[in-house]
Amino acid sequence: MASLLVQVGLFKEAEELLFALENNEIFDDLIKGYAGAREWEKGVFVCDFMKGRGKVPSRDCYGVLVDLLVKVKRTSLAYRLAFDLVDLGVPLSVPLSGDELRALEMVMVQLCIGGRIQEARNLVKKVLVLNCEVSSLVFDEIAFGYCERRDFKDLVSFFVEIKRVPSVKAANRVMNSLCRNYGVERAGLFLQELESLGFSPDEVTYGILIGWSCREGKMVNALSCLSAMLSKSFVPHMYSYNALISGLFKVGMVDLAREIVDEMIERGTLPDVSTFRVLMAGYCKCRKFDKVKSLVHEMENRGLIKLSLMENPISKAFLILGFDPLSVKLKRDNDGGLSKTEFFDDVGNGLYLDTDVDEYEKHLTLDLEESMVPNFNSFVGKECSNGNLKKALILVEEMLCWGQELLLPEFSKLVRQLCSSRSQTTSMTHLLEKMPRYAHKLDQETLNLVVQAYNKKGLLSKAKTTLDEMLQNKFQVTNETYTAILMTLCKKGNMKDFNFYWDVACRNKWSPGLEDFKSLLVLMCQQKMLKEASLFLEIMLLSHPYLKSDICHVFVEVLSGKGLTDIVLLALKQLQLRFILDDTGYNNLLRGLCNEGNFSLAFTVLDDMLDRSLAPCLDISVLLIPQLCKAQRYDKAIALKDILLKEHHSFSHAIDCALMRGFYNMGSIGKAEAMFREMLSKGFSPDEELCNMLIQGHCQANDLRKVGELLAVAIRKSWVLSLTSYRNMVRSVCRKGGVWFALSLKNLMLAQCALDGHIIYNILIFYLLSAGNSLAVNKILAEMEEKKVVLDEVGLNFLVYGFLQCKDLSRSLSYLAIMISKGFKPSNHNLRKVISSLCDAGDLQKALKLSQEMRLRGWIHDSAIQTSIVESLLLSGKIQNAETFLDRMGEESLTPDNINYDYLIKCFCQHGRLNNAVHLMNTMLRKNNIPISTSYDFIIIGYCAQNKLDIAMDFYSEMLNWNLKPRIETLEMLVQRSCQDGKTELAEQFLVDMSHGGETPTRKMYCTVIKSYHMEKNLRKASELMQAMQENGYQPDFETHWSLISNLNSVKAKDTDNGGKGFLSRLLSKSGFLQKK
């Protein structure tokens, strides 16, 4: 019972029951149920309650709770439960599962993000005891946490304690932090400590030391690091070479700068624009403009820049360095005294800079400084501004390797731009996973875009996690975000989560735009969420009163198009004071009603429309006119025709054809022909469309002679017959046994519509088999094989069904096997019919074999299929096999949502297998299918027969809750069982309830209760019931009656209603033994 309450989400009721029972297994189910419903407080409470009673929740419970607490950012609680989870595995050294370990790792990461490094450290040590491998992400986050606190001593002690070596990424972060805050010398010493732990630095580690050494002017140290790097066969990065060049310029070793470039080229690393830029900055600072000029030409030769014939190389260099060529100029001093000369070129010309020299020097110094330690934040920001997201992501990867941190503004900007590109959603996801600290700090604007991007990509789990975090932090969620997640959930059919976020969105005054309203409404209709659709309409009308008309039009259009006109009409009735349909709304509603085939209601709407002097559009009118005729509303059809002719005179042919079709529908062939003659009198020439309509009309009237004449006209004029005309003709002639005519029609159609060959053959096969003519079908199949026309899925389905109609089960099975072998799924109807036929023929093994084929393909077994197979198994005495078959249906999810087990419930009850019957009933209820009263009757009678009155009464109460009426036999059994169990008052209550409900208890029920009261010596009750029994027209049997009288001799009773007459006298009088005088 508790498990069932949990399954249907009645957690409070389950909780009350469980606290009384204290059952471990069901406690676990309750905790998991709360976790699934996101009610983490109640889940933790039940978990703590169990522990307080000395019980231990399962590891699964801890796992789902920890996972949920991580998602809702309840880190302290997650940490406590994580410790308990690990403790469960410690005594037996049971390793953690993959899901458990991932949940614990997320706890560790969250602890690090929150600055709780010691707790993360403790949890890591506890997990490592179980010989579980913790992700490097966790170790990195702990290292980053120590970095932020600048607690490098504890960082080393942590890795010593766990006997692990930090990752290169973590070590480089530490090295960069040490260099920035304490200098390169301290960093070098720390590197030695790490190496003693077994850490192996890479080229980036040495590159960090080189860059910071150059910035500090310690070129000996920088060159020493370069030497160490080369000795380990590492290839220095371009950043390292640029740093060395810049550092040499800084300390005045200008001539060595070029040697670094030459060695760089010699080792296979070609200089790029950044290297030449450093060289230019250094030479410009030293006023060696001849070298600057040669660098520009070298860049041109390497294809790094383009230099026009008229372009000055020095001006180009200034441009590359970021100067404005108009504000920074190199000029020759033409004054004879060289009063302005600052320096000389190689040929002795006096030169000077025409610029603000201080700003010039400052700019070059900054360029050289930034070249020593790359400013990745600046690089990433620049690429984002240029829209080069791929390059920006590569730079972020490099940045992390070089131990630098991306600033939050640049990180947010990059994430927003990635969200705007659907092709970059995966990259955005990886970025957030790699940098959880920054993901945790994103603002609400960016997080809204992240949720929307996840939904566009279908990453529902990530979208929900991010949105839950936003709601937890009370961030503002935009309308677009709510709409995005609701649309994704609706597409996937995840109604549980949809309802949750729907409620949240409504509470937060969510109000989507008109286009989003339409898109989401379409999805809601597909999922049959009709109540929510109506509520959605109300939300939109309240949020956008100025768009009332547009909103209602969208609602009518969408729901009418989805076959939900009943909901539209109900909504319109409620909105009649606020909104009146115009012609667009009426047309949408009428189109929907016509598509549903609900023409009687369409006629009512049409009347209302015409009363308001509005006319339906042409396409709807030509649908309505034939149906009006068919409904004998000829006058209305003519009136509609006249209205249309006034507004659409140029379409008079289509309107006349619609009326003619209507005459055929109502069987008025004479009127149709008169209409045709009238059309001819107007000068109308019959065409292909009209000929087809006439053929279909005369087929409907079963006038094959006229059909033949029209067919002759069509052939003579080379008109193409429609497939509808062909189908009608084949159906008519097959019914009359005209096989030769049907075959001739087939040949004609194949000549006219070769591309429709499959359809033509399929129609012919269907109607021939429907007429029982399997011999003709054999000829057709032989012809198809000869022409190499392969049967399609529709044709094979027709053959399976048709041969069953012809009582040829073996041929039907043969084509069913062909269908399955070709990867086609037979129609559900055919599967039902074949299995039913096999079971009826006593060939149960073949039915089971077919079921096995269906199971292997995951095909649903509907109610009829399961009933046929299980009934046959039960009739064969294979009860255990029947039970196994049904269990397998449930385990493999092969049971449809509309399952009906009523007949099988009866069968299992008749075989005394009540548990199976109850299981089938519960399956129906879980899928929202209410069993019929007979099912309850059989179960109640069964439990009464087993002397289990309490259980029988539970089912009786449930039956009444569903407003189901028990059979008299069921009530008689309950009364009998109650009396046998000494619960005579309960038995009497059944009689009272029946009387109050307007029913008369049976004589047997009265006698049973009277005898029970008699045996209990409760003579007053017995006599009262005997009186009620007689008032209802029953006479007690003599034995019971006389026995009761004999026991009343000593009773002295007075009855005010009988003028003091004795109780015995009254009883005898009522019984007819004393006659009135």
Give residue 370's region: left, alpha or beta (phi > 0; psi -120 to 50): alpha
The answer to whether residues 602 and 611 touch, using CB atoms and an 8 Å cutoff, is no
The token pair at 598 is: 């609900």
In this structure, of 22-31, 343-352, 586-595, 1045-1054, the range with the lowest mean pLDDT score is: 1045-1054
pLDDT at 614: 85
For 598-632, write each residue's pLDDT tens digit: 888 888 888 888 888 888 888 888 888 888 888 88
Q: Is the pLDDT of residue 1036 over 80?
A: no
Mean pLDDT estimate for the chain:
85
pLDDT at 160: 87
**Range 1031-1044 average pLDDT:** 71
Split at pLDDT 50, 70, 90, the class of 1039 is: low
Question: How far is the C-alpha of 637 from the C-alpha of 603, rounded, in Å?
Answer: 10
Question: How far is the C-alpha of 244 from the C-alpha of 214, rounded, in Å?
Answer: 6
The answer to whether residues 213 and 226 touch, using CB atoms and an 8 Å cutoff, is no
Residue type, 466: T
Closest CA to 399 of 349, 348, 435, 447: 435
**Range 747-772 average pLDDT:** 89
For 704-737, write each residue's pLDDT tens digit: 888 888 889 888 888 888 898 899 999 999 988 8
Better pLDDT: 497 or 28: 497
Question: How far is the C-alpha of 763 from the C-alpha of 897, rounded, in Å?
Answer: 33
pLDDT at 481: 95
**Range 462-487 average pLDDT:** 91
Q: Is the pLDDT of residue 460 over 60?
A: yes
Question: How far is the C-alpha of 780 from the C-alpha of 110, rounded, in Å?
Answer: 72
**Range 151-166 average pLDDT:** 87
**Range 877-881 average pLDDT:** 93
* Residue whose token pair is 């006298």: 1065
pLDDT at 1043: 60
Question: How far is the C-alpha of 477 from the C-alpha of 484, rounded, in Å?
Answer: 11
pLDDT at 1052: 43
pLDDT at 1075: 44
For 885-925, write each residue's pLDDT tens digit: 999 998 888 999 899 999 999 999 999 999 999 999 999 99
pLDDT at 334: 60
pLDDT at 1057: 47
**Range 519-539 average pLDDT:** 87
For 662-707, write each residue's pLDDT tens digit: 777 777 777 777 777 777 777 677 778 778 888 888 888 788 888 8
Contacts of 708 (CB under 8 A, 6+ apart): none
Better pLDDT: 38 or 395: 395
* Residue whose token pair is 């006349």: 656
Q: How many CB atoms lie within 10 A of CB 16?
A: 12
pLDDT at 1044: 60
Classify strands 350-354 and 343-344 as parallel, antiparallel or unpaired: antiparallel
Global confidence as pTM: 0.64
The answer to whether residues 204 and 401 touch, using CB atoms and an 8 Å cutoff, is yes
The answer to whether residues 883 and 908 touch, using CB atoms and an 8 Å cutoff, is no
Q: How many residues does the chain have?
A: 1077
Q: Is the pLDDT of residue 569 over 90?
A: no
Report DSSP letters for 964-995, one per residue: PPPPHHHHHHHHHHHHHTT-HHHHHHHHHHHH
Share of the chain above pLDDT 90, in %: 38
Q: Is the pLDDT of residue 1063 over 50?
A: no
Q: Is the pLDDT of residue 812 over 90?
A: yes
Question: How far is the C-alpha of 842 from the C-alpha of 677, rounded, in Å?
Answer: 61
Closest CA to 206 of 225, 230, 233: 225
Contacts 24+ apart (CB under 8 A), 316-321: 317/280, 317/284, 317/292, 317/293, 318/284, 320/273, 320/276, 320/277, 320/280, 320/296, 321/277, 321/280, 321/281, 321/284, 321/363, 321/364, 321/367
Split at pLDDT 50, 70, 90, the class of 1071 is: very low
pLDDT at 975: 94
The answer to whether residues 517 and 533 touch, using CB atoms and an 8 Å cutoff, is no
Q: Is the pLDDT of residue 1041 over 70?
A: no
**Range 177-190 average pLDDT:** 92
DSSP-assigned beta bridge partners for residue 1050: none
Split at pLDDT 50, 70, 90, the class of 1072 is: very low
DSSP-assigned beta bridge partners for residue 353: 330
Better pLDDT: 338 or 514: 514
Q: Is the pLDDT of residue 1076 over 90?
A: no
For 117-141, write each residue's pLDDT tens digit: 898 888 888 888 777 788 888 888 8
Better pLDDT: 53 or 1069: 53
In this structure, of 31-40, 106-115, 612-621, the range with the lowest mean pLDDT score is: 31-40
Q: Rounded to a whole number, what is the largest CA-CA distance in the chain?
A: 166
pLDDT at 533: 86
pLDDT at 350: 67
In this structure, of 336-340, 639-643, 675-679, 1055-1059, the range with the lowest mean pLDDT score is: 1055-1059
For 195-241, write each residue's pLDDT tens digit: 998 999 999 999 999 999 999 999 999 999 999 999 999 999 999 99
Report DSSP letters for 157-179, one per residue: HHHHHHT----HHHHHHHHHHHH
Contacts of 464 (CB under 8 A, 6+ apart): 485, 497
pLDDT at 333: 62
pLDDT at 669: 75
Question: How far is the C-alpha of 362 from the C-alpha of 132, rounded, in Å?
Answer: 55
pLDDT at 9: 54
Question: How far is the C-alpha of 344 from the C-alpha of 533, rounded, in Å?
Answer: 84
pLDDT at 338: 52
* Residue whose token pair is 């009396």: 979
Question: How far is the C-alpha of 591 from the C-alpha of 1041, rounded, in Å?
Answer: 73
